[in-house]
Amino acid sequence: MADAARVDISVVVPLYNERENLTELHRQLVDALTPLGRSFEVLLVDDGSSDGTREGLLELEERDPRVKLVLLRRNFGQTAAFSAGFDRSRGDVVVTSDGDLQNDPADIPALVAKLESEDLDMVCGWRRTRRDPLSKRIPSFFANRLISWSTGVALHDYGCSLKAMRGDVARGIRLYGDMHRFIPAVASWMGVSLAEVPVNHRPRTRGHSKYGLGRTVRVLLDLFTVKFLHSYGTRPAHLFGLMGLACGALGFALLAYLSVLKVFFDEAIGGRPLLLLGALLFLTGVILVSFGLMGELLVRTWHESQGKPIYVVQERRPRRGPEPGANAR
């Protein structure tokens, strides 16, 4: 990336039918970022809005050259909107936020300061006091603990969109489905260092929430995907092969036991449920091991044909501490 095109901070905000919030959102973002005395851009991603949001964004772009628009042809979802913003960001630091003004832009300087002062890769907002109804807070409470336990990335609040991260981390993340809420977990395979900062959360005063109870089911399904990609994405045979060997060994043991009864004790085994169970377990084991081998072939074909690396290089060098004894007198 050319230095002439670089900026210090990129703010990525996905928008879907948020026409009423645009002017206030822009004002609060500018008020929060200007005192930092650093160059910034505000990437507003319109995710196929139908309420006049796009027209309002075009007006903002004309008034403020720091506003950059990304106009998606239809509603692809928040994950796709974040991904589009990341790909077009130019900042050394990338900040994400929602467009409904429940996230407070005034918290951005604190996130950026912690990111840089502690040499971290990502700082996540923690809505310690949420201004949402119980129908949102209760499922979120259990979801956060389930996600933290299953992914090994312990955070209090996976659902908070207010985050600050290094630009190379943001542009290296590949998101699919509805995985924007799993950004810290998806990024963890890159070896990122994480922290949380309590942030202000405000009730929605304009527009309408885009989330319903069906979101909980999608979160669980996406969690399975994230867990699989995180733990077995490059070695599927370790998952399917282990299950297959366990099933196959148990099935073989049952069939061997029945064979001993038939050969040495002349007992009838044709009508025993164990015979069917043993054959089913053995066949299931063979199928699972075959799935694992096919998965390994697909993974290798994908990485080799697409030139996809199985590693991530840290573009910036970590800060070195003072030499031992440097301050000694």
Residue holding tokens 């290094």? 166
Q: Widest CA span of the chain, in angstroms?
A: 91
CA count, 13 A, side-chain hemisphere, 154: 0
Cβ atoms 223, 181 nearer than 8 A? no
Q: Cα separations (Å) of 89 from 9, 119, 123? A: 9, 21, 18
Pairing mode of beta strands 67-71, 7-15: unpaired
Does residue 2 surpass a pLDDT of 50? no
Instruction: Kindly indicate whether the domain formed by 3-232 is annotated with CATH number 1.10.150.240.
Output: no
Cβ atoms 173, 111 nearer than 8 A? no
Burial class (CB in 10 A: 0-12, 13-18, 19+), 233: middle
- Nearest 5°: the CA angle 116, 199, 189 is 55
Predicted TM-score of the model (pTM): 0.78
**Helices vs strands, H then E, count in the chain:** 10, 7
CA nearest neighbour of 176 among 221, 119, 120, 130: 221
pLDDT for 329: 40
* Element containing residue 95 per DSSP (H, E): strand 91-96
Higher pLDDT among residues 214 and 103, named by residue: 103
Instruction: Give the sign of the dihedral formed by CA 62, CA 68, CA 72, CA 78.
Output: negative
pLDDT for 147: 86
| Lowest mean pLDDT across 42-46, 55-59, 145-149 | 145-149
Secondary structure (3-state) at 67: strand
pLDDT digits (tens, 9 = 90+) for 71-99: 999 999 899 999 999 999 999 999 999 99
SS3 content of the chain, % helix, strand, coil (to 5): 55, 15, 35
pLDDT digits (tens, 9 = 90+) for 251-304: 999 999 999 998 998 888 888 899 999 999 999 999 999 999 998 888 888 767
* Element containing residue 46 per DSSP (H, E): strand 40-46
For 200, the token pair is 């202000």
Mean pLDDT (the chain, rounded): 86
* Element containing residue 167 per DSSP (H, E): helix 167-172
